[in-house]
């Protein structure tokens, strides 16, 4: 789930706290794996959400999104031109739909959050390329999250890769710190031009935990928010993709906590 207003100071995590986030991250990864495997024509986004909630509870965690700022569901499920925060309901998926699945879990008071984009059946070449570039941008950004770097290094890596491939980075939403709360400092923008110098200069230290999440549009970067107060979609109606991992910065570099 994309960044909201956060407090000012980055909260470094202890090894014991990281282990709790690691446990939450494993659950998030398993949920994304199983829900994405269930994508098929005719299934409703509500059915996918119910599956996610059951899995999280069965694995000893609590859903992180449900009830957060009154969000009504366990997952954000965003389809085609929806960027993020799509609310599950009675919409039935159709062949070729591009579906972004975003989910969080809480284990013993600590959060993990991740997202991926997949297609219902075979995706067309344009959609496949958009997903590939967005996922590549995520991993290039993660690779920069190492001791001695800054948030600006992460943002630069994401923006360069996206724009080099002819796509646009969403500028109205960002990644975020995560741990004891869903949204902690620092904000993690996916762009440099237009971001505040204060944001970009935040140092990355051992024990920093981040949710890095490129949101990439096939067309322009502009987005609109629906009347439900949550769902963002592209202004021009083009496709959007979203990939996210929760990471911790170790002495040796970044460790992904939301990967099996």
Query: Using CA atoms, how far apart are residues 145 and 152, in angstroms rounded to an integer?
Result: 10
Domain ranges in the chain are 15-256
DSSP secondary structure string, 35-78? HHHT--TT-BHHHHHHHHHHHHHHTT-EESSTTGGG--SSEEEE
> What's the pLDDT tens digit per position in 155-173?
999 999 999 999 999 999 9
> What's the pLDDT tens digit per position in 110-140?
999 999 999 999 999 999 999 999 999 999 9
For residue 212, pLDDT over 70 is answered with yes
Query: Using CA atoms, how far apart are residues 243 and 203, in angstroms rounded to an integer?
Result: 23
Query: Using CA atoms, how far apart are residues 258 and 166, in angstroms rounded to an integer?
Result: 28
Q: What is the pLDDT of residue 129?
A: 98
In 3D space, the residue among 115, 84, 134, 105 whose CA is nearest the CA of residue 244 turns out to be: 115
Q: What is the mean pLDDT of the chain?
A: 96
Q: What is the pLDDT of residue 3?
A: 67
Q: What angle do CA 107, 27, 5 make, to 5 degrees?
A: 60
C-alpha distances in Å from residue 85, one per residue of 138, 159, 178, 232, 248: 19, 22, 18, 7, 24
Q: What is the mean pLDDT of residues 90-101?
A: 98
Q: What is the pLDDT of residue 7?
A: 47
Q: What is the mean pLDDT of residues 139-157?
A: 98
Q: What is the CA radius of gyration of the chain?
A: 17
> What's the pLDDT tens digit per position in 15-38?
999 999 999 999 999 999 999 999
For residue 194, pLDDT over 90 is answered with no
Q: What angle do CA 257, 258, 260 make, to 5 degrees?
A: 100
For residue 217, pLDDT over 60 is answered with yes
Q: Which residue has the higher pLDDT, 1 or 5?
A: 1
Q: What is the pLDDT of residue 2?
A: 84
Cis, bond preceding 205 (omega within 30 deg of 0): no
Among the residue ranges 1-5, 136-140, 196-200, 231-235, the one predicted with the least confidence is: 1-5
Q: How many Cα atoms within 13 Å fall on the side-chain side of residue 27?
A: 28
- For the chain, helix (H) and strand (E) counts, in that order, are 5, 15
Confidence of residue 4 (pLDDT cuts 50, 70, 90): low
Q: What is the pLDDT of residue 191?
A: 97
For the 15-256 domain, the top CATH level (class) is alpha beta
Q: Tell me the sheet residues that pair with 215.
A: 242
For residue 5, pLDDT over 80 is answered with no
For residue 193, pLDDT over 70 is answered with yes
Say if pTM beats, i.e. exceeds, 0.85.
Answer: yes
């Amino acid at each position: 789930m994309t960044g909201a207003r956060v407090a000012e100071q980055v909260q470094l995590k202890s090894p014991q706290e990281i282990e709790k986030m690691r446990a939450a991250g494993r659950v998030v990864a398993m949920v994304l794996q199983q829900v994405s495997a269930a994508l098929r024509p005719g299934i409703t986004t509500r059915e996918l959400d119910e599956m996610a909630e059951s899995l999280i509870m069965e694995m000893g965690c609590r859903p992180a999104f449900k009830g957060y700022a009154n969000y009504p569901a366990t997952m954000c499920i965003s389809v085609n031109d929806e960027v993020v925060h799509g609310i599950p309901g009675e919409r039935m998926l159709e062949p070729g739909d591009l579906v972004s699945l975003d989910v969080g879990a809480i284990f013993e008071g600590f959060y993990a959050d991740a997202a991926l984009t997949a297609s219902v059946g075979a995706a067309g070449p344009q959609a496949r390329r958009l997903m590939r570039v967005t996922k590549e941008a995520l991993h290039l950004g993660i690779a920069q999250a190492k001791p001695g770097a800054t948030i600006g290094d992460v943002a630069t890596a994401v923006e360069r890769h996206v724009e080099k491939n002819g796509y646009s980075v969403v500028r109205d939403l960002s990644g975020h710190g995560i741990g004891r709360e869903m949204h902690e400092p620092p904000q993690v923008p996916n762009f440099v031009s237009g971001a505040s110098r204060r944001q970009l200069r935040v140092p990355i230290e051992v024990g920093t935990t981040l949710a890095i999440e490129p949101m990439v549009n096939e067309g322009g970067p502009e987005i609109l928010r629906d009347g439900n107060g949550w769902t963002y979609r592209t202004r021009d109606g083009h496709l959007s993709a979203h990939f996210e991992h929760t990471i911790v910065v170790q002495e040796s570099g970044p460790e992904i906590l939301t990967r099996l």
